[in-house]
Structure 1
Amino acid sequence: MKVLGILGIIVILLFIFLIQRPGLKRSGKREKIAFFSIMMVNGVLAVLLVIFPEMPGPGQMIDFLYKSFKPFW
Protein backbone atom coordinates (compact mmCIF):
# COMPACT_ATOMS: atom_id res chain seq x y z
CA MET A 1 0.00 0.00 0.00
CA LYS A 2 2.87 2.36 0.76
CA VAL A 3 4.36 1.66 -2.66
CA LEU A 4 1.16 2.88 -4.31
CA GLY A 5 1.29 6.06 -2.24
CA ILE A 6 4.89 6.69 -3.23
CA LEU A 7 4.11 6.03 -6.90
CA GLY A 8 1.17 8.42 -6.64
CA ILE A 9 3.45 11.13 -5.26
CA ILE A 10 5.92 10.57 -8.10
CA VAL A 11 3.12 10.80 -10.68
CA ILE A 12 1.86 14.05 -9.15
CA LEU A 13 5.38 15.53 -9.12
CA LEU A 14 5.87 14.56 -12.77
CA PHE A 15 2.49 16.08 -13.64
CA ILE A 16 3.46 19.35 -11.93
CA PHE A 17 6.79 19.35 -13.78
CA LEU A 18 5.12 18.78 -17.15
CA ILE A 19 2.67 21.62 -16.54
CA GLN A 20 5.45 24.01 -15.45
CA ARG A 21 7.90 22.96 -18.18
CA PRO A 22 7.01 25.65 -20.75
CA GLY A 23 7.51 28.37 -18.15
CA LEU A 24 10.79 26.84 -17.00
CA LYS A 25 12.21 26.96 -20.52
CA ARG A 26 11.87 30.74 -20.53
CA SER A 27 13.14 31.28 -16.98
CA GLY A 28 16.70 31.70 -15.81
CA LYS A 29 19.02 29.29 -14.08
CA ARG A 30 18.19 30.54 -10.57
CA GLU A 31 14.47 30.00 -11.06
CA LYS A 32 15.06 26.48 -12.32
CA ILE A 33 17.28 25.66 -9.34
CA ALA A 34 14.71 27.09 -6.93
CA PHE A 35 11.86 25.18 -8.59
CA PHE A 36 13.67 21.84 -8.53
CA SER A 37 14.98 22.25 -5.00
CA ILE A 38 11.54 23.12 -3.60
CA MET A 39 10.02 20.29 -5.62
CA MET A 40 12.54 17.77 -4.28
CA VAL A 41 12.11 18.89 -0.65
CA ASN A 42 8.33 18.60 -0.98
CA GLY A 43 8.65 15.19 -2.64
CA VAL A 44 10.92 13.85 0.10
CA LEU A 45 8.60 15.16 2.82
CA ALA A 46 5.57 13.61 1.11
CA VAL A 47 7.30 10.23 0.81
CA LEU A 48 8.39 10.40 4.45
CA LEU A 49 4.81 11.08 5.51
CA VAL A 50 3.67 8.02 3.54
CA ILE A 51 6.32 5.81 5.12
CA PHE A 52 6.03 7.28 8.65
CA PRO A 53 2.44 8.53 9.05
CA GLU A 54 2.93 9.21 12.77
CA MET A 55 5.63 11.78 12.00
CA PRO A 56 4.70 15.19 13.41
CA GLY A 57 3.70 17.84 10.91
CA PRO A 58 4.71 21.48 10.68
CA GLY A 59 1.72 22.59 12.76
CA GLN A 60 2.83 20.45 15.68
CA MET A 61 6.34 21.89 15.45
CA ILE A 62 4.98 25.44 15.64
CA ASP A 63 2.83 24.47 18.63
CA PHE A 64 5.90 23.01 20.33
CA LEU A 65 7.95 26.14 19.69
CA TYR A 66 5.33 28.61 20.88
CA LYS A 67 4.17 26.55 23.87
CA SER A 68 7.14 27.92 25.83
CA PHE A 69 5.76 31.48 25.39
CA LYS A 70 2.36 30.56 26.89
CA PRO A 71 3.21 31.83 30.44
CA PHE A 72 3.90 35.30 29.03
CA TRP A 73 0.38 35.74 27.59
Structure 2
Amino acid sequence: MKIWLMIGMALIVILIWWYEWSRLGREKKKEKAAVAVLLCLTMLLGVILIINPELPGPTQAVNWLFRPLGKMLEK
Protein backbone atom coordinates (compact mmCIF):
# COMPACT_ATOMS: atom_id res chain seq x y z
CA MET A 1 0.00 0.00 0.00
CA LYS A 2 2.77 2.45 0.90
CA ILE A 3 4.59 1.76 -2.36
CA TRP A 4 1.55 2.97 -4.33
CA LEU A 5 1.47 6.18 -2.32
CA MET A 6 5.14 6.76 -3.10
CA ILE A 7 4.62 6.00 -6.79
CA GLY A 8 1.66 8.38 -6.92
CA MET A 9 3.64 11.10 -5.19
CA ALA A 10 6.55 10.56 -7.58
CA LEU A 11 4.21 10.93 -10.55
CA ILE A 12 2.81 14.17 -9.18
CA VAL A 13 6.32 15.51 -8.55
CA ILE A 14 7.34 14.57 -12.09
CA LEU A 15 4.31 16.38 -13.51
CA ILE A 16 5.06 19.48 -11.46
CA TRP A 17 8.71 19.36 -12.52
CA TRP A 18 7.79 18.97 -16.21
CA TYR A 19 5.31 21.85 -16.06
CA GLU A 20 7.68 24.23 -14.28
CA TRP A 21 10.73 23.21 -16.32
CA SER A 22 8.94 23.86 -19.61
CA ARG A 23 7.86 27.34 -18.46
CA LEU A 24 11.38 28.43 -17.49
CA GLY A 25 13.66 29.64 -20.23
CA ARG A 26 17.13 28.38 -21.07
CA GLU A 27 18.82 31.30 -19.32
CA LYS A 28 17.17 30.76 -15.95
CA LYS A 29 19.58 28.20 -14.52
CA LYS A 30 19.29 29.41 -10.92
CA GLU A 31 15.52 29.18 -11.02
CA LYS A 32 15.71 25.68 -12.46
CA ALA A 33 18.12 24.66 -9.71
CA ALA A 34 15.78 26.11 -7.08
CA VAL A 35 12.80 24.19 -8.52
CA ALA A 36 14.81 20.97 -8.59
CA VAL A 37 16.06 21.37 -5.00
CA LEU A 38 12.61 22.22 -3.62
CA LEU A 39 10.98 19.31 -5.42
CA CYS A 40 13.66 16.89 -4.19
CA LEU A 41 13.26 18.09 -0.60
CA THR A 42 9.49 17.84 -0.88
CA MET A 43 9.74 14.33 -2.28
CA LEU A 44 12.14 13.30 0.50
CA LEU A 45 9.86 14.71 3.21
CA GLY A 46 6.85 13.02 1.64
CA VAL A 47 8.56 9.62 1.52
CA ILE A 48 9.70 9.97 5.13
CA LEU A 49 6.17 10.83 6.25
CA ILE A 50 4.68 7.94 4.24
CA ILE A 51 7.12 5.48 5.82
CA ASN A 52 6.70 6.84 9.35
CA PRO A 53 3.43 8.80 9.64
CA GLU A 54 3.86 9.40 13.39
CA LEU A 55 6.66 11.88 12.77
CA PRO A 56 5.74 15.52 13.27
CA GLY A 57 5.07 17.44 10.09
CA PRO A 58 6.74 20.67 9.01
CA THR A 59 4.02 22.83 10.58
CA GLN A 60 4.65 21.29 13.99
CA ALA A 61 8.40 21.84 13.56
CA VAL A 62 7.85 25.53 12.74
CA ASN A 63 5.53 25.89 15.75
CA TRP A 64 8.14 24.27 17.98
CA LEU A 65 10.84 26.56 16.61
CA PHE A 66 8.95 29.86 16.88
CA ARG A 67 6.77 29.29 19.97
CA PRO A 68 9.35 30.86 22.35
CA LEU A 69 9.54 33.94 20.13
CA GLY A 70 5.75 34.24 20.15
CA LYS A 71 5.66 34.02 23.95
CA MET A 72 8.31 36.72 24.22
CA LEU A 73 6.35 39.02 21.89
CA GLU A 74 3.10 38.56 23.86
CA LYS A 75 4.61 39.93 27.06
Shared topology, TM-score over 0.5?
Answer: yes
1:11 aligned partner, one-letter code: L
Runs in 1 of length 4+ with deviation above 2 angstroms? 24-27, 62-65, 67-73
Give the deviation of 1:52 after TM superposition. 0.7
Percentage of identical aligned residues: 32
1:64 aligned partner, one-letter code: W
SS of the residue aligned with 1:4?
helix
Label 1:30 to 1:68 Cα distance change in 2 as closer, same or farther (>3 A).
Answer: closer
1:50 aligned partner, one-letter code: I
User: TM-score normalized by structure 1?
Assistant: 0.80
**Number of equivalent positions:** 73
In the alignment, structure 1 segments of 5+ residues that lack a partner are: none
1:23 aligns with 2:23: yes
User: TM-score normalized by structure 2?
Assistant: 0.78
Bigger CA drift: 26-35 or 49-58?
26-35
In the alignment, structure 2 segments of 5+ residues that lack a partner are: none
Q: Which structure carries more relative contact order (alpha carbon 8 Å, separation 6+)?
A: 1
Label 1:63 to 1:28 Cα distance change in 2 as closer, same or farther (>3 A).
Answer: closer
